[in-house]
Amino acid sequence: MRTNPATPAEVDTWLTVLHQRGHLYRAERGPYNTWAVQRCRHSRPWTLHHPVLAMDWIEDIVRGIRQQDAETGR
């Protein structure tokens, strides 16, 4: 459980890593702590409007990656 709120820099770091490792097609920072993200080339883009909401979305992505890796390892 987090004891301090997510920061824009933390969101930027997570999105950069996920994009570099091929888990996101697009991740761009917008104005006023927003981010435009897209999972796949043909998927619908999302706008994340706050660092806390962005971290929730990132957590879902990471959870899916971990689950996929666990299933692949079986």
Note the pLDDT tens digit of each residue in 6-47: 999 999 999 999 999 999 999 999 999 999 999 999 999 999
- Cα–Cα distance between 56 and 14 in angstroms, integer? 12
Exposure of 19 in the CB half-sphere (CA atoms within 13 A): 16
In terms of pTM, does the model score above 0.85?
yes
Q: How many domains does the chain have?
A: 1
* Domain-located, residue 1: no
* Domain-located, residue 25: yes
Domain of 45, in residue numbers: 8-69
* Domain-located, residue 74: no
